[in-house]
Amino acid sequence: MFFNETNNYFDMDKSNDTNVNIDTIIFNREETLYKPFDGFNKGNMFPEIYSKYKNHIYKLKVNNPKDDLLYKIQMYSFALKDYSLYLDTHPEDTKILREFRDTNQMYMSLKEEYESKYGPLCITGASSTSKWTWLNEPWPWDKGGNN
């Protein structure tokens, strides 16, 4: 059972209209994409398929340079995921592929900057060969953590 937009339940096994051809969805590929900040806050990098939820405006307040850098990393990570989902169905779209590459370069640069200043973001960033650095700084829930 699934729930559709008209607040009705329907059984997918009994419905004849369950096939969706992704090629019939029209994307205006010439339209400008959202910048990572806007796309992250809206939850969508593509203005032509963005649907505003009521009057919801999401604004995250950052308190320090470390949180600001982490916020930027999250924005670019979101953009990469949204672009990759699109590229799964449109692998030859050179405009989005170029956006993906540029965004990935910026993401990697921000991640490298963060890890050089504050330590690894994830376990794979713990690259020291002399000692285990994954537990070096306070976690957000520890005394002295920023969150």
Q: Amino acid identity of 52? A: K
SS3 61: coil
Among the listed residues 52, 48, 102, the one whose alpha carbon sits nearest the alpha carbon of residue 79: 102
- Per the CB < 8 A criterion, the answer to whether 39 and 78 are in contact is yes
CA distance 56 to 42: 9
Residue 82 near residue 39, CB atoms below 8 Å: yes
- Minimal CA–CA distance to 65: which of 117, 109, 16, 120? 117
Ranges of the chain with pLDDT below 70: 1-31, 54-58, 125-130, 132-147
pTM of the predicted model as reported, rounded to 2 decimal places: 0.64
Cβ partners under 8 Å of residue 21, min gap 6:
none
pLDDT of residue 133: 63
Q: Give the per-residue pLDDT at 21.
A: 54
Which class for 144: exposed (0-12), middle (13-18), buried (19 or more C-beta within 10 A)? exposed
